[in-house]
């Protein structure tokens, strides 16, 4: 029997409960206990949400995005820790460096996940080596999904968690996915799921066997054909080793109390714009458009965006533009959240 020949694979590496795991490295006494990361670590702090929860906390129904107060009610014995982005940056950089040292192209998708493209005969062996190296060098656990494209590899990681390896290819795609709901597919959200349900399509198998013209009539040619491709297990197989370059910088704040005075809103937007601009300047980038997000106390949320007269980094121009965008809103209710996003020109 001949040995397997090398072929192209895509591996999706996802660090398990990443933020919580970074905290547990410096608080080993909390290993095995429910830990919740978010805000300043004070569960009574208003309008702060869970950034990450350990698996032990998740067993109580705690999840990212949940208000800290709700998390404390669900899991009163949990330890709450403040979010520490600098520590997460450092840990992420260390992991991504280890992945690059393996000699394969690595495409970083955030703090805790990356794609690795490799031409190997045994991708499982490579996946196990990745897990071993990361655990030995950082003390962090990761899961690895294996396939021949990014979308299917990312879905495979979901089956690998926690701290495992899973392979999802043409050979087992329909065996694993056929009866699952359409929102089990990568990038298929509630709105798309609702539209598909209106067509009588609720499972991956049904979507994969839907006529393409029916889908394009509802979703348009691009999205309709993409949905069909996803349901059949297809996707993008290109792993780029180019460094990730942010296309925008933003800052958002949820206020301890709702803002009712326009002067307070102006001051908050000005501060957010200046903070985002400081990030832009530090990266030697140039702003092209300014966006402002407003969320009222009824949770009505909208974002408006406008192009600058000329790209630049002048603080007065940027803050004035942000205030002009705020003027576009008819703010007739107390404001719960404000955000400013600065969109950037490609680096020269």
**8 A C-beta contact, residue 164 and residue 143:** yes
What's the sign of the alpha-carbon dihedral 237, 94, 29, 34?
Answer: negative
- Catalytic residue ranges: 113
Q: By C-alpha distance, which of 97, 86, 153, 91 is closest to 124?
A: 153
Structure token digits, residue 236: 């993008």
Report how far residue 315's alpha carbon sits from residue 327's, in angstroms, rounded to the nearest whole number.
18
**8 A C-beta contact, residue 12 and residue 108:** no
H-assigned helices in the chain: 18-26, 55-58, 68-74, 85-100, 123-138, 150-160, 173-177, 190-198, 204-208, 212-219, 221-231, 262-282, 315-327
Q: By C-alpha distance, which of 88, 95, 97 is closest to 131?
A: 95
Report how far residue 108's alpha carbon sits from residue 105's, in angstroms, rounded to the nearest whole number.
10
């Amino acid at each position: 029997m001949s040995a397997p020949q090398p072929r192209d694979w895509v591996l999706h590496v996802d660090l398990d409960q990443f933020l919580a795991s970074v905290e547990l490295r410096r608080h080993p006494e909390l290993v095995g206990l429910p830990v919740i990361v978010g805000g300043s670590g004070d569960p009574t702090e208003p309008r702060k949400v869970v950034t990450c929860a350990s698996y032990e906390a998740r067993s109580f129904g705690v999840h990212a995005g949940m208000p800290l107060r709700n998390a404390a009610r669900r899991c009163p014995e949990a330890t709450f820790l403040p979010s520490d982005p600098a520590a997460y940056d450092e840990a992420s950089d260390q992991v991504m460096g280890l992945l690059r040292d393996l000699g394969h192209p690595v495409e970083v998708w955030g703090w805790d996940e990356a794609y690795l493209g490799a031409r190997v005969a045994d991708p499982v062996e490579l996946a196990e080596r990745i897990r071993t190296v990361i655990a030995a060098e950082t003390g962090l656990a990761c899961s690895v999904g294996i396939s021949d494209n990014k979308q299917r590899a990312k879905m495979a990681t979901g089956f690998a968690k926690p701290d495992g390896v899973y392979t999802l290819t043409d050979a087992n795609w329909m065996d694993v996915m056929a009866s699952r709901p359409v929102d089990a597919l990568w990038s298929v959200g509630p709105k798309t799921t609702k539209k598909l349900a209106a067509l009588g399509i609720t499972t991956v198998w049904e979507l994969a066997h839907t006529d393409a013209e029916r889908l394009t009539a509802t979703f348009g040619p691009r999205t309709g054909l993409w949905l069909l491709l996803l349901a059949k297990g297809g996707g993008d197989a290109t792993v780029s080793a180019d460094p990730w370059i942010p296309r925008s910088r933003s800052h958002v704040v949820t206020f301890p109390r709702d803002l009712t005075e326009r002067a307070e809103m102006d001051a908050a937007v000005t501060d957010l714009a200046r903070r985002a601009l400081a990030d832009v300047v530090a990266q030697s980038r140039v702003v092209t458009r300014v966006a402002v997000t407003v969320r009222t106390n009824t949770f009505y949320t909208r974002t408006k965006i406008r192009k600058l007269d000329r790209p630049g980094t002048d603080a007065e121009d940027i803050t004035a533009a942000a205030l002009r965008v705020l003027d576009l809103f008819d703010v007739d209710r107390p404001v719960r959240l404000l955000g400013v996003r600065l969109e950037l020109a490609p680096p020269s």
